[in-house]
Amino acid sequence: MNNLKLLNQSEVKKILTMKDVLQAVEDAFGSWGRGEVQMPPKSYLIFDEQNGDLRSMPAYLPGKNAGVKIVTVHPDNTSQGLPTVMALCVLNDPNTGFPVAVMDAGLLTAVRTGAAGGVASKWLAKEGSSEIGLIGSGVQAQYQIEAHLDFMNIDHIKISDPNKQATKDLSDWIKKKDSSIDISVTDIKNACDCDVLITTTPVRNPIVMDSMIVRPHTHINAIGADAEGKQEIEGNLVKRSNVIVDDWTQTSHSGEINVPCHEGWFTKDMVAGEIGTIVAEADSSFKNVLTIFDSTGLAIQDMATANIVLKKAIEKGMGIDWSPLK
Amino acid sequence: MNNLKLLNQSEVKKILTMKDVLQAVEDAFGSWGRGEVQMPPKSYLIFDEQNGDLRSMPAYLPGKNAGVKIVTVHPDNTSQGLPTVMALCVLNDPNTGFPVAVMDAGLLTAVRTGAAGGVASKWLAKEGSSEIGLIGSGVQAQYQIEAHLDFMNIDHIKISDPNKQATKDLSDWIKKKDSSIDISVTDIKNACDCDVLITTTPVRNPIVMDSMIVRPHTHINAIGADAEGKQEIEGNLVKRSNVIVDDWTQTSHSGEINVPCHEGWFTKDMVAGEIGTIVAEADSSFKNVLTIFDSTGLAIQDMATANIVLKKAIEKGMGIDWSPLK
């Protein structure tokens, strides 16, 4: 019994399904909304000279394993053939503290971020939404679309990204997933004329302007801003939208609203709701109004997802057993 | 290059020497005192029903790997044949974020705690100190003695503990280490008549009373109190001593002074010094006065020690290589 399970990325990939992760993330948001979980704030180590950082993210969902995700973000890694974001999850049995798993959490992070967007759209987008706009066509856009395909009848996706290769790759990937979906490659303004807008860019100056959002019910998943100084959405649009956060502390520090908060004109009382409370209360009151989901990623999403991975890995006999106490 | 090194406890044991750890912990304290390190506060997950907790402890010593120690404390574990304290250290390369090691950190925690006591006595005990008093004769007492043997000419050790077997085991262990040391098994009062007093008990009501400390220069390493509500030393003795902390936030929360702080009569301005500053400034001004070192254990001690382990493991070709990104 004194073994822990080691799971690398290809093993995690074989096990993870978006359907399972969507359910796990929605359940975790609900538990968060009901005040059942423990999730201390993320801790940061900053590597100024190396242009990177490390975030340790502990969380405990009662009835499941507790754990810590240790994630690093190094934008210059691509030149060395390494991912920008790398992560490990360590899971511990709350009964004894014994570490029961160490798993790669890079892919897991991408998938649970996609799932958070899916859950947000499920609760915040207008019933019958069928048109998605994508600002940014990198890898996270794929996970977002995969999550939305699970519950939404998508008939049209508008993609805006100056990178033609990334746009083509994403289009090809979508066609393979569902050939019935119309795909347009277009400008930002036209992409914003949609039911669900998903922004996944690393920009530091807003590119989604107030005037571009023309439908009264558009739901925006603001995914890109994940550090101080980043923002994708113009202030006036933030002002007239219902802003739903995953966690106030995180979003005001490093989410889409971090710049407005630092500028002083966006305050906690302007938040329209928290995704956890909306899920916990099955609150459908935001479905016909303009909404922005400010997603920064919660440790409970990671723990909920990692728990699924471990459970399935044990069932399937996957991974390597290692004994730390030997 | 995309492998990390897995090191279990017996491998760590083969590599770790108290001499190396003493130097690493002293260097880490010095860096801490000079403001060179990053060490966010410990985060806690509390398992109320299971009578346990998990602490995640990130730290970065520039020029070395960054990392997080994940440590659990479950006092009821002994009935299941598991240690009360279990821990893993994850080390990351600050250049890329890549996780370079996962190692068992249970033994490492015990050794670096012993080393902290050794460093504190080196700087705070009277020159020529030769008599040690031990209140509590569990495993941590061994590591404390091992650390003190490195730099102190010990001629007499007085042990006080109601557990006769533990007292005998510790006495036998000391005799093996150095047969020239006199060992007395005695009561708490007599043990307190010494140059260096080391308390390693889990008590919640003080057992070292003010009247028992009769030498004007006694240095006390207060190791036992590591959670809210625990204390080993009577308030009046705390009041008349020079209290040196490892970290104010930690000690006021869960160290020897946590109860006085919660009672409101011990405040930050009553702290006589921090071990980091004393090491950084080579401050010998406390050597002839009554001192208490309130040790709660810093993540930088863990990282400094884990870095030694990894470096030596690489030199010796020890451990298992595992590829999380595969």
Backbone phi, psi, residue A59, to 5°: -160, 155
**How far does Cα B262 stand from its chain's mean position?**
23
| Chain segment A91-106, per-residue pLDDT in tens | 999 999 999 999 999 9
Tell me how many helices (H) and strands (E) chain B has: 11, 15
Mention every residue, 6+ apart, whose C-beta is less than 8 A from residue B111. Answer: B16, B18, B21, B143, B305
Question: Would you call B50 an interface residue with chain A, using a CB distance cutoff of 8 Å?
Answer: yes
Using an 8 Å CB-CB cutoff, list chain A residues near B6: 6, 322
Fold held by A125-296: Rossmann fold (3.40.50)
* Residues 91-110 of chain A whose Cβ lies under 8 A from any Cβ of chain B: 92, 94-99, 102-104, 106
Token pair in block for residue A245? 């956060």
Using an 8 Å CB-CB cutoff, list chain A residues near B100: none
Structural element, H or E, at residue A114: helix A106-124
CATH of domain A4-109+300-322: 3.30.1780.10
Q: What is the pLDDT of residue B1?
A: 55
Strand extents, DSSP E, B153-241: 156-160, 182-185, 196-199, 219-222
**How far does Cα A246 stand from its chain's mean position?**
10
3-state DSSP assignment of residue B88 = strand
Question: Which of B221, B249, B224, B50 lies closest to B119 in space, CA to CA?
Answer: B221
Quote the CATH superfamily of domain B4-107+300-322: ornithine cyclodeaminase, domain 1 (3.30.1780.10)
Active site residue ranges of A: 69
Backbone phi, psi, residue A184, to 5°: -115, 140
Token pair in block for residue A217? 């019910």
Q: What is the pLDDT of residue A226?
A: 87
CATH of domain B110-297: 3.40.50.720
Mention every residue, 6+ apart, whose C-beta is less than 8 A from residue B221. Answer: B117, B120, B121, B144, B196, B197, B198, B199, B293, B295
Structural element, H or E, at residue A5: strand A4-7
Q: Quote the minimal CA–CA distance from A299 to chain B in Å.
A: 12
One digit per residue, pLDDT tens: chain B, 326 residues? 589 999 999 999 999 999 999 999 999 999 999 999 999 999 999 999 999 999 999 999 999 999 999 999 998 998 888 999 999 999 999 999 999 999 999 999 999 999 999 999 999 999 999 999 999 999 999 999 999 999 999 999 999 999 999 999 999 999 999 999 999 999 999 999 999 999 999 999 999 999 999 999 999 999 999 889 999 999 999 999 999 999 999 999 999 999 999 999 999 999 999 999 999 999 999 999 999 999 999 999 999 999 999 999 999 999 999 999 99
Question: Would you call B318 an interface residue with chain A, using a CB distance cutoff of 8 Å?
Answer: no
Question: Would you call B317 an interface residue with chain A, using a CB distance cutoff of 8 Å?
Answer: no
**Cβ-defined contact of A73 to B97 (cutoff 8 Å):** yes
Q: What is the pLDDT of residue A1?
A: 55
Question: Which of A222, A224, A226 lies closest to A254 in space, CA to CA?
Answer: A226
**Cβ-defined contact of B324 to A9 (cutoff 8 Å):** yes
**Cβ-defined contact of B40 to A45 (cutoff 8 Å):** yes
Using an 8 Å CB-CB cutoff, list chain B residues near A90: 70, 88, 90
Q: Where are the domains of chain B?
A: 4-107+300-322, 110-297
Question: What value does the mean pLDDT take over residues A10-28?
Answer: 97
CB–CB of B57/B188 below 8 Å? no
Question: Would you call B58 an interface residue with chain A, using a CB distance cutoff of 8 Å?
Answer: yes
- Give A32-60 as a 3 state SS string: HHCCCCECCCCEEEEECCCCEEEEEEEEE
Active site residue ranges of B: 69
